[in-house]
Amino acid sequence: MSATFTLGQENTSPKQSSESLTGTWHCQFDSPFGLQTYHLHIAINDAGDATAHAEVDTRDEVRKVEFVDVKVDNDSLSFAEVRQFGDREFRIEYSGERKGKDLAITRSFGERGGQESLATRELPKPPPKEDPAPVVEVKIDCLIKDAFKDSFLVGMAGDLPSRYSEEELKLAAEHFAAITPENCMKPERVHPAEDRWDFERTDALVQWAEKNDMTIHGHTLVWHAQTPNWFFEERDPETVKRRMQQHIETLVGRYKGKLQSWDVVNEAINDGGNSETAKTENLRNSNWLQTLGPEFLTLAFKFARQADPDAVLYYNDYNIESGPKHASSMVLLERLLADGAPIDAVGIQGHWRSGRVPFEDIEKAITDYASLGLKVSITELDVTIRGESGGQFGRRRFRNSAPPTVDDLNAQADDYARLFAIFKKHEDVIERVTFWGLNDRRTWRRGQHPLLFDGNNNVKPAYASILALADSDDDAAKRAPEPPKNVRIEDGGQGDYSATVAFRFDRHAAVSTIIPMDLQGRAKSHHFLATSSPFGFLTWRTGPFAVP
């Protein structure tokens, strides 16, 4: 695969280049799919012919790359990586130059400009290990899926089981009643070319979910992103329509009776908008819209219904709870219903940011959709602690951000409690609430600490605050007869502690009770579940932990 380059100049010894550039280098590049570590091997033979290959560590896999067009000139070199996405080929260009003992590499991709990385002979230092101890130690007495089992399903997203640890698989199966495949059912993964399907991971997921009694929500059939271009080649409406139908028939048909529901159309509405667009559907100018017109949504729903008459069919989108985008969503849904599109439900993705969750909009959106006779699910819930939220691509930052503070975690816990109070209040409409990921490591918002478990699978305060809400006042009253102001913490027999419990009443619940105390580095504070009961709150026996 590798092209060769012979050094032409007599007075330039190939040996000099070999010494300078040959051997193994390590460098890292950021990509939309996370940090990628390249282990680059460069060889130059006596004739001066150069080859280069690499193993690339990505979040999910180790990818082997053979570079092409490798050219070496004294202390500099260039080469290219050709990648196939569906039927499309992408070419990533690299150029490198010795800088002292390192090799400065620039990588450029299409119009995107260059990204630089310093390749070294030594392996890059692994990111600082997260402290395995939680910032706040939290006790829970009930699983979230059980706490809401009479109200709605509580789910998570991920391409389980492959590449998840035993501990993570156990966590997922224990706490969640539903699963959404995060990527493996998307067109580019499952149907990379018109005549090629890859069902390995989707079959494995379905099998694993069935074994663990989890319901499965399919994601996603018709979308502008992560969809290969072969669907739209020739741009002939009849051909595109036939491809859409075959895609839906094959995929939905394969899992008929096994998947409970599907995101049929994802993210069809434009971002932003204004008072003018609010009166319209304001559809995104996707390949689907360009080739099939606004009719593409109705078609997709009809094909999905034909393929599995029992599956619950969703329109799914982000930020549709607020502003002009919400208004557009209502215009669109009303049209779909009037046109006889077999749509059952709306998925509010729910990528929100702590401190800025639009609670009132969310509640209004739920009742608005219900007024159309549609069910609602929160399909991709995460509440980020820092940085961007929203459903857009390419906004991920803070991958290696500092751990959250106790205040961050409490604020997030309050946000989650208020959200679940709204969901529970509308339990007659809400079918399912799915978190987008499993823990703060298995999330597309890594570094922003958005979920209920930290990166080491420790329960976060948000989990306890949500549970506190699920407790009816009656239950809480039974369990917490006296409102203790001073709580003695029993440590399992190794010593006595006492601490003053600070508690506060949120709009809906007294959540997160923090007792600041130093626990030998195991935790900076202990977190006790408090219930919303006006009669008091619960405390938990902790320990055992070491006492000096």
Footprint of ligand XIL (CB under 6 A): 33, 182-183, 266, 349, 380, 391, 444
Q: Residues near 16 by Cβ (< 8 Å), separated by ≥ 6?
A: 74
Query: Least distance from C-beta 388 to ligand XIL, angstroms?
Result: 12
Query: Least distance from C-beta 322 to ligand XIL, angstroms?
Result: 16
Out of 81, 182, 281, 380, which one is annotated catalytic? 380
Which lies closer to ligand XIL via its Cβ, residue 179 or residue 514? 179
Measure the CA–CA gap between 178 and 259, rounded to whole angstroms: 10
Question: Which among 114, 120, 106 is positioned nearest to 26, based on CA atoms?
Answer: 120
Radius of gyration of the chain (CA): 27
The CA-CA-CA angle for residues 342, 345, 346, to 5°, reads: 125
Which lies closer to ligand XIL via its Cβ, residue 134 or residue 347? 347
Which lies closer to ligand XIL via its Cβ, residue 81 or residue 317? 317
DSSP 8-state class, residue 501: P
Q: Residues near 395 by Cβ (< 8 Å), separated by ≥ 6?
A: 387, 388
Measure the CA–CA gap between 527 and 514, rounded to whole angstroms: 5
Query: Least distance from C-beta 157 to ligand XIL, angstroms?
Result: 7
Query: Least distance from C-beta 391 to ligand XIL, angstroms?
Result: 4
For 61-96, letters b (16+ CB in 10 Å) and e give eeeebebebbbbbbebbbbbbeeeebeeeeebebbb
- Fill in the amino acid letter for 154: V
Which lies closer to ligand XIL via its Cβ, residue 333 or residue 468? 333
210 is catalytic: no
Residue 217, Cα to own-chain centre: how many angstroms? 15
Q: Residues near 228 by Cβ (< 8 Å), separated by ≥ 6?
A: 85, 86, 87, 88, 187, 188, 191, 192, 193
Is 250 exposed, middle or buried, given 0-12, 13-18 or 19+ CB atoms closer than 10 A?
A: middle
Which lies closer to ligand XIL via its Cβ, residue 8 or residue 394? 394
Query: Least distance from C-beta 268 to ligand XIL, angstroms?
Result: 12
Q: Residues near 340 by Cβ (< 8 Å), separated by ≥ 6?
A: 298
Query: Least distance from C-beta 33 to ligand XIL, angstroms?
Result: 5
**Whole-number Cα distances in Å, 50 to 284, 394, 449, 455, 515:** 46, 35, 44, 42, 63
DSSP H stretches of helix in 457-504: 461-470, 473-479
Which lies closer to ligand XIL via its Cβ, residue 36 or residue 183? 183
Is 537 exposed, middle or buried, given 0-12, 13-18 or 19+ CB atoms closer than 10 A?
A: buried
Query: Least distance from C-beta 135 to ligand XIL, angstroms?
Result: 24
The CA-CA-CA angle for residues 419, 398, 185, to 5°, reads: 65
482 is catalytic: no
DSSP for 116-151? EEEEBSSPPPPPPPPPSS-SEEE--SS-HHHHTTTT
Which lies closer to ligand XIL via its Cβ, residue 115 or residue 392? 392
What phi, psi does 45 have (nearest 5°)?
Answer: -85, 180
Q: Are 498 and 516 in contact (CB under 8 A)?
A: no
Which lies closer to ligand XIL via its Cβ, residue 182 or residue 454? 182
Which residue has tokens 């009669």? 535
Query: Least distance from C-beta 298 to ligand XIL, angstroms?
Result: 20
Q: What is the dihedral of CA 457, 462, 464, 465, to 10 degrees?
A: -170
Could you count the other beta carbons within 10 Å of the beta carbon of residue 516? Answer: 12
Query: Least distance from C-beta 201 to ligand XIL, angstroms?
Result: 13
Is 227 exposed, middle or buried, given 0-12, 13-18 or 19+ CB atoms closer than 10 A?
A: buried
Tell me the residue nearest to ligand XIL as measured from the CB.
Answer: 444
Which residue has tokens 């009849």? 238
Out of 267, 321, 363, 431, which one is annotated catalytic? 267
Which lies closer to ligand XIL via its Cβ, residue 31 or residue 106? 31
Query: Least distance from C-beta 266 to ligand XIL, angstroms?
Result: 5
Could you count the other beta carbons within 10 Å of the beta carbon of residue 235? Answer: 10
Which lies closer to ligand XIL via its Cβ, residue 39 or residue 351? 351
Q: Which residues are catalytic?
A: 267, 380
